[in-house]
Amino acid sequence: MTNLIDSYLLKSGMPAEELCIIGRAKRAFYYYGMFALGTSGLTLMLVGLFNIIG
């Protein structure tokens, strides 16, 4: 997943030097962290919606 996002960022115009400065481990931690937060937020939203409906 990190390679996919990195290639998207490079195609969008982000300089490769900037990606090198950030570091691959930090970027992977950020990407997976954002994915986990998004998933947990979506789950909480769906649980709340089902509690309201049910």
Residue owning tokens 């950020």: 30
Q: Summarize pLDDT for 27-39 with one digit per residue, the tens.
A: 889 999 999 999 9
Torsion of CA 4, 7, 32, 38, to 10 degrees: -90
- Residue 5 predicted with pLDDT over 90: no
Handedness of CA 20, 21, 24, 29 (dihedral sign): negative
Contacts of 27 (CB under 8 A, 6+ apart): 2, 5, 6, 19
Q: Summarize pLDDT for 6-53 with one digit per residue, the tens.
A: 898 899 998 989 888 888 888 889 999 999 999 999 999 999 999 999
Residue 13 zone, left/alpha/beta (φ > 0; ψ -120 to 50; rest): left
